[in-house]
């Protein structure tokens, strides 16, 4: 339009006078980008043609990128295999439903060992910076208080509006981008109706996440222009790096559901300075710098680099009573802005008491054709891609984190008598306050104060089972299974609100198989983890009140002779699970943790017996009755 004379000098620089055919918003954006360019310079033919060519190339690139993105997201291994989805739309019935949550990926043309360019998993630098800043803010507010000094040190490290921070974070890319189809795992998130014990299909939430042995990222942190006055801030950064290496700085979303928790190693440290000064000697004891052009510097690698990044000073608490109680927001809920109350990590061992059935996510691993149609055979849940063609023969089997969390949450809801729904963020019932809550409208959601990891099995024993359906005419009455076609299934309800499946032996209708041997389409075929198989997982918790921790411990360990229920086919006797807290569990002493020592004296041993207090439990007698596992 400039070349054709359809934009005159009178219009230039006036956002309220867009040329004909140009929207006001586009015109304002165009003028804002070219605010420092005079009109006569815009008419320079050479410069204008270059700009037009660059814009055309960018448009072509974006269109190509968009097409490739659409193609990538439509591939089978990126599509949810639940045909129809919750709305059962025609297009979903034909093509499947896209995942609700997907790990970030990008299209890159960087060469790898396998191919010239491919889709690659990556973590944006802004995500890494945000995670470090959040951790720094929580730790500093815990020990130093919510003061001007805390805000100043955060600004020095991470910057603020109009001020660049000392630390710059790059994007994190895979060390070697392998076959992208094998980098993805899927998990079904299913909400269970507490009254019926059935899945709520409209509340189904699916996850496509990055996982694998070769999922190792590499990124850089550049710390620039360090001055003597910045030494306290740099020491805090070293404390954060120690936390990062311990796996205490998670990335991304769904952290309370076991995602985003990683461990890190320092690969290389490069230090450059214009002169050998006090800063170098303060940061790195007894370090000899060598000339590097106009600079002096050093390069350390591996363990030597990690040892060099020791904090130069502790983070001293502002008061002795700091972090004794959880921080509370003005609206009345317990906040995440700092650490307080009871914080720690529980290491838990799970043992299958009866066969457990949690089917794999994605497409079934086994399918055979029958005269009446296809019959599917479902393997147990594992860290595997949703497409069977991309799954490894040796699988890492596990109990999904959301399944464990939902199981414990349900018992906690009963034990805390959380019968009344939460009305808003300032009026949460006990279970929503601890495990998290999402309401309606803006600023009406709260992250939970617990994080459950996946429970990985160590060489579990699995078997195939056949369960014919329907099976509602089978009932467990007077310690025995009986078939009564005209009787309705009995429901065990606690306080007329929560349905609990009693612990019973496997029903006679269940048949154990030697392999996937389908006999007809009127049954489900699946692999289940056999009794005696053990898995381990961890539960991180923070900002808990004493009563909350007491109740949580009981809801995990229960009592002698009691057990949990998890997975599918619980009515028929599947899913009995025992949990025990291991001696390696601990509480965190925040003052000692950042006191400058390298040992683990900040980990206070956790004695389970000191925290089992039935007096804080509601519906205690009913829970002891319905969770009794003597029958199995």
CA distance 628 to 414: 15
Looking at the domain assignment, is residue 547 inside a domain?
A: yes
Instruction: Decide: helix, strand or coil at residue 367.
Output: strand
Q: Are 603 and 588 in contact (CB under 8 A)?
A: yes
Which pair of tokens denotes residue 206? 């699916």
In this prediction, residue 358 has a pLDDT band, given cuts at 50, 70 and 90, of very high
Query: For residue 107, what pLDDT is reported?
Result: 46
Helix/strand/coil (H/E/C) assignment for every residue in 457-521 = ECCCCEEEEEEECCCCCEEEECCEEEECCCCCCCCCEECCCEECCCCCCCCCCCEEECCCCCCCC
Sequence-ordered alpha helix ranges (H) in 416-453: 430-435
Position with higher pLDDT, 273 vs 578: 578
Q: Are 356 and 157 in contact (CB under 8 A)?
A: no
Instruction: Decide: helix, strand or coil at residue 114.
Output: coil
CA distance 448 to 84: 31
> DSSP letters of 214-280?
T--EE--EEE-S--GGGHHHHHHHHHHHHHHHHT----SS-GGGT-S-------EEEEEESS--HHH
Looking at the domain assignment, is residue 72 inside a domain?
A: no
Query: What percentage of the chain reaches a pLDDT higher than 70?
Result: 88
Q: How many CB atoms lie within 10 A of CB 418?
A: 23
Looking at the domain assignment, is residue 533 inside a domain?
A: yes
Q: Look at the chain and count its residues.
A: 632
Instruction: Decide: helix, strand or coil at residue 599.
Output: coil
Looking at the domain assignment, is residue 29 inside a domain?
A: no
- Beta strand pairing status for 498-499 and 366-370? unpaired
Of 112-116, 210-214, 622-626, where does mean pLDDT reach its minimum?
112-116
Tell me the CB-side half-sphere exposure of residue 418, using CA atoms within 13 A.
24
| Domain count across the chain | 1
In this prediction, residue 215 has a pLDDT band, given cuts at 50, 70 and 90, of confident
CA distance 540 to 248: 10
CA distance 607 to 53: 70
CA distance 84 to 477: 38
Class of residue 265 by CB neighbours under 10 A (exposed 0-12, middle 13-18, buried 19+):
exposed
Q: Stretch 484-494: mean pLDDT, rounded?
A: 82
CA distance 48 to 2: 8
pLDDT digits (tens, 9 = 90+) for 172-184: 888 876 666 667 7
Looking at the domain assignment, is residue 347 inside a domain?
A: yes
Peptide bond into 470 cis (omega under 30): yes
Q: Is the dihedral of CA 295, 296, 301, 305 positive or negative?
A: negative
Domain limits for position 622: 342-354+393-512+524-626
Radius of gyration of the chain (CA): 29
Looking at the domain assignment, is residue 618 inside a domain?
A: yes
Q: Stretch 398-417: mean pLDDT, rounded?
A: 95
Query: For residue 111, what pLDDT is reported?
Result: 47
Whether the pLDDT of residue 598 is over 70: the answer is no
Angle, CA of 6, 9 and 10, to the nearest 5°: 100
Query: For residue 10, what pLDDT is reported?
Result: 80
Whether the pLDDT of residue 298 is over 90: the answer is no
CA distance 521 to 491: 28
Average pLDDT, the chain: 85
Reference 364, options 351, 346, 350, 382; nearest CA is: 382
Position with higher pLDDT, 80 vs 169: 169
Q: Is the dihedral of CA 88, 92, 96, 98 positive or negative?
A: negative
Q: Are 269 and 309 in contact (CB under 8 A)?
A: yes
Q: Stretch 273-296: mean pLDDT, rounded?
A: 78
Of 104-108, 142-146, 518-522, where does mean pLDDT reach its minimum?
104-108
Looking at the domain assignment, is residue 3 inside a domain?
A: no
Query: For residue 558, what pLDDT is reported?
Result: 95
Q: Are 455 and 443 in contact (CB under 8 A)?
A: no
Query: For residue 203, what pLDDT is reported?
Result: 65
Query: For residue 603, what pLDDT is reported?
Result: 92
CA distance 285 to 212: 38
Reference 342, options 557, 140, 551, 599; nearest CA is: 551
Instruction: Decide: helix, strand or coil at residue 357.
Output: coil
In this prediction, residue 609 has a pLDDT band, given cuts at 50, 70 and 90, of very high
CA distance 538 to 540: 6
Looking at the domain assignment, is residue 195 inside a domain?
A: no
Query: For residue 38, what pLDDT is reported?
Result: 80
């Amino acid at each position: 339009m400039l070349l054709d004379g359809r934009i005159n000098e009178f219009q230039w620089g006036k956002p309220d006078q867009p040329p004909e055919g140009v929207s006001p918003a586009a015109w304002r954006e165009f003028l804002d980008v070219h605010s420092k360019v005079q009109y006569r310079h815009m008419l320079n033919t050479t410069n204008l043609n270059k700009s037009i060519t660059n814009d055309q190339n960018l448009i072509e690139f974006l269109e190509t990128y968009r097409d490739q993105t659409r193609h990538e997201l439509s591939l089978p291994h990126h599509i949810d295999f639940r045909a129809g989805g919750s709305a059962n739309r025609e297009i979903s019935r034909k093509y499947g439903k896209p995942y609700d949550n997907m790990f970030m990926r990008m299209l890159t043309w960087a060469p790898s060992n396998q191919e010239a360019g491919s889709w690659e998993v990556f973590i944006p630098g802004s995500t890494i910076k945000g995670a470090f800043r959040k951790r720094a803010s929580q730790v500093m507010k815990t020990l130093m208080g919510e003061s001007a000094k805390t805000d100043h040190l955060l600004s020095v490290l991470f910057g603020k509006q109009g001020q660049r921070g000392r630390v710059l974070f790059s994007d994190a890319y895979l060390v070697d981008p392998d076959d992208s189809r094998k980098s993805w795992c899927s998990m079904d998130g299913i909400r269970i109706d507490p009254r019926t014990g059935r899945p709520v299909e409209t509340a189904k939430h699916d996850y496509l996440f990055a996982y694998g042995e070769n999922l190792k990222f590499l990124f850089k942190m550049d710390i620039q222009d360090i001055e003597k006055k910045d030494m306290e801030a740099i020491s805090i950064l070293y404390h954060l790096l120690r936390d990062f290496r311990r796996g205490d700085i998670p990335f991304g979303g769904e952290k309370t559901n076991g995602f985003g928790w990683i461990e890190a190693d320092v690969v290389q440290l490069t230090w450059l300075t214009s002169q050998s000064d006090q800063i170098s000697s303060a940061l790195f004891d007894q370090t000899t710098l060598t000339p590097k052009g106009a600079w002096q510097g050093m390069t350390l690698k591996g363990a030597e680099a990690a040892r060099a990044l020791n904090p130069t000073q502790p983070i001293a608490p502002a008061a002795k009573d700091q972090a004794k109680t959880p921080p509370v927001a003005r609206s009345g809920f317990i906040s995440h802005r700092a650490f307080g109350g009871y914080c720690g990590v529980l290491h838990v061992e799970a043992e299958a008491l009866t066969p457990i059935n949690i089917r794999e996510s994605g497409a079934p691993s086994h399918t055979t054709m029958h005269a009446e149609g296809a019959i599917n055979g479902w393997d147990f849940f594992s860290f595997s891609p949703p497409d069977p063609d991309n799954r490894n023969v040796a699988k890492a089997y596990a109990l999904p984190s959301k399944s464990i969390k939902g199981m414990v949450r349900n018992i906690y809801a009963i034990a805390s008598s959380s019968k009344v729904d939460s009305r808003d963020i300032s009026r949460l019932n006990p279970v929503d306050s601890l495990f998290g809550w999402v309401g309606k409208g803006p600023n009406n959601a709260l992250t939970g104060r617990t994080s459950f990891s996946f429970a990985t099995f160590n060489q579990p024993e699995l078997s195939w089972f056949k369960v014919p359906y329907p099976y509602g005419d089978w009932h467990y009455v007077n310690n025995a299974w009986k078939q009564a076609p005209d009787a309705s299934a009995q429901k065990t309800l606690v306080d007329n609100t929560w349905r609990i499946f009693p612990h019973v032996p496997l029903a006679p209708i269940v048949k154990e198989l030697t392999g996937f041997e389908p006999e007809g389409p009127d049954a489900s075929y699946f692999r289940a983890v056999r009794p005696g198989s053990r898995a381990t997982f961890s539960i991180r918790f923070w900002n808990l009140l004493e009563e909350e921790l007491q109740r949580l411990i009981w809801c995990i360990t229960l009592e002698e002779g009691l057990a949990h229920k998890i997975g599918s086919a619980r009515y028929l006797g599947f899913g009995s699970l025992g949990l025990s807290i291991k001696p390696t569990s601990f509480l965190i002493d925040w003052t000692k943790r950042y006191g400058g020592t390298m040992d683990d004296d900040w980990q206070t041993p956790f004695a389970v017996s000191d925290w089992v207090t039935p007096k804080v439990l509601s519906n205690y007698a009913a829970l002891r009755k319905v969770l009794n596992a003597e029958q199995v």
